[in-house]
Amino acid sequence: MQVVVLAGGVGSRLLPWTNQIPKPLLPMLDKTLLEQVISSVPNEMVDEVIVAGGYKVDMIKSYFSDSEFDFDITIVPEDKPLGTGGALGNCRDVVNGTFACFNGDIISSLNVKSLLNLHKSNGGIGTLGLWEVNDPTRFGIVGLDENSKITRFMEKPLPEEVFSNLINAGSYIFEDDIFDYIPKRKNSIEREVFPVLAEKEMLNGQKFEGFFIDSGTRSSWCDAVRTCIDNNRFSKGEICGKSWFDKPFGKVEEGSTIIDSMVGIDTEIMHSVIENSTILSGTKISNNVLIESSLIGKNVTIGQNSKITNMIVDHNSIIPENSILNDGQWP
């Protein structure tokens, strides 16, 4: 089966990290974010991965051309932002038959085989993975009948418009007939395509449980890292004290505390505390540093007696000693 990943966005919610590295290539444990998304599909089901890329797409091409995978990779570039519908529509010439499709930052426990089975048994053009939330106003919501048919779809409703707590989880099985309903221009599949297909009773939906994370923000990235650790979504590296460490190990001074975090290769951590954070490769952390719920880029140097909370620190940054950084970006 072909798997399409919609990965064309700038990743503005993860700036300044994404100034240098496109979001799909950011490392999440021993894989890129894009590979973590693909790993939701059992390997034996994947014949080809089609990446609908835009921002820094040449870096994505280079990464996949230099790496070996068990499936074919096709990159479909967009010259300008096309929206979710336009990006998918841009793939119409390379997709055939039944295919899977994912938003490029979704980490979830969706059972793709089960979703495919429902799609085959119910028919229609598309089948959506669904997740239940308390506040659905930030998402696309669906009405679902007893036969798993989607009866209604509304993107980001106002509070008074909410008719369901089931949301679109950005994970789909489609028939290639869907391209007949996607305009050949910039468009939103959630606003312009799904409502039409729901009205025509051409969409199915399946609720799943476990975990669902849109990892495109600092806080949700931290959630996704913890979830990947807890669910063993890595093939190398090692778990120590509820954190994942890449190999070869760097230097971690005795007495340091590292909890629910990801630590890249060639890092040096003196006597410090790191909680719920990502520390990328080559970073040096001095004595008596506290890092909480933050993303620290590659080759960063952090001076002693510093406190960093709810921050995204750019690659190659130097943070002076005694710094107190809260709720933002550096620099």
pLDDT at site 241: 85
The answer for residues whose C-beta is within 8 angstroms of residue 151's C-beta and 6 or more apart is: 142, 143, 144, 145, 198, 201
First to last CA, the chain: 43
pLDDT at site 164: 97
96 plus 209 within the same structural domain:
yes
The answer for residues whose C-beta is within 8 angstroms of residue 80's C-beta and 6 or more apart is: 54, 186
Q: Which of 182, 214, 246 is the last residue of a domain?
A: 214
Asked if the structure places residue 220 within a domain, the reply is no
152 plus 268 within the same structural domain:
no
Asked if the structure places residue 226 within a domain, the reply is no
Asked if the structure places residue 233 within a domain, the reply is no
255 plus 113 within the same structural domain:
no
306 plus 166 within the same structural domain:
no
What's the total number of domains in the chain? 2
Res. 68: pLDDT tops 90: no
For residues 163 and 152, the answer to whether their CB atoms sit within 8 Å is yes
Asked if the structure places residue 221 within a domain, the reply is no
For residues 168 and 128, the answer to whether their CB atoms sit within 8 Å is yes
Place 249 in a pLDDT band, splitting at 50, 70 and 90. Answer: confident
15 plus 139 within the same structural domain:
yes
pLDDT at site 146: 97
Asked if the structure places residue 138 within a domain, the reply is yes
- Could you tell me the two tokens for 217? 């923000």
pLDDT at site 67: 86
Q: Which of 199, 214, 229 is the last residue of a domain?
A: 214
pLDDT at site 324: 98
Asked if the structure places residue 102 within a domain, the reply is yes
Strand 48-53, strand 106-108: pairing: unpaired
331 upstream amide cis, omega within 30 of 0: yes
pTM for the model: 0.94
Q: 170, 187, 182: which is closest to 104 by C-alpha?
A: 170
The model's pLDDT over 279-328, given as tens digits with 9 standing for 90+, comes to 999 999 999 999 999 999 999 999 999 999 999 999 999 999 999 999 99
19 plus 159 within the same structural domain:
yes
205 plus 256 within the same structural domain:
no
pLDDT at site 59: 96
pLDDT at site 86: 96
- Could you tell me the two tokens for 101? 């499709």
Strand 278-279, strand 203-207: pairing: unpaired
**Residue 2: other Cβ atoms inside 10 A:** 22
106 plus 151 within the same structural domain:
yes
164 plus 303 within the same structural domain:
no
Res. 66: pLDDT tops 90: no
Arithmetic mean of pLDDT, 39-62: 95
The model's pLDDT over 144-161, given as tens digits with 9 standing for 90+, comes to 999 999 999 999 999 999
The model's pLDDT over 18-49, given as tens digits with 9 standing for 90+, comes to 999 999 999 999 999 999 999 999 999 999 99
- Could you tell me the two tokens for 199? 């009205």
Q: Residue 202 sits in a domain of what CATH number? A: 3.90.550.10
The model's pLDDT over 73-106, given as tens digits with 9 standing for 90+, comes to 999 999 899 999 999 999 999 999 999 999 999 9
**Residue 69: other Cβ atoms inside 10 A:** 12
51 plus 124 within the same structural domain:
yes
Strand 238-240, strand 243-245: pairing: antiparallel
63 plus 185 within the same structural domain:
yes
Q: Residue 251 sits in a domain of what CATH number? A: 2.160.10.10
199 plus 242 within the same structural domain:
no
For 169, the domain range is 2-214
Kindly report the length of the chain. 331
Q: What DSSP line would sit under 115-130, residue for residue?
A: HHHHHHHH-SSEEEEE
Arithmetic mean of pLDDT, 172-190: 97
Mean pLDDT of the chain: 96
Asked if the structure places residue 33 within a domain, the reply is yes
Asked if the structure places residue 231 within a domain, the reply is no
The Cα–Cα gap between 13 and 83 comes to: 17
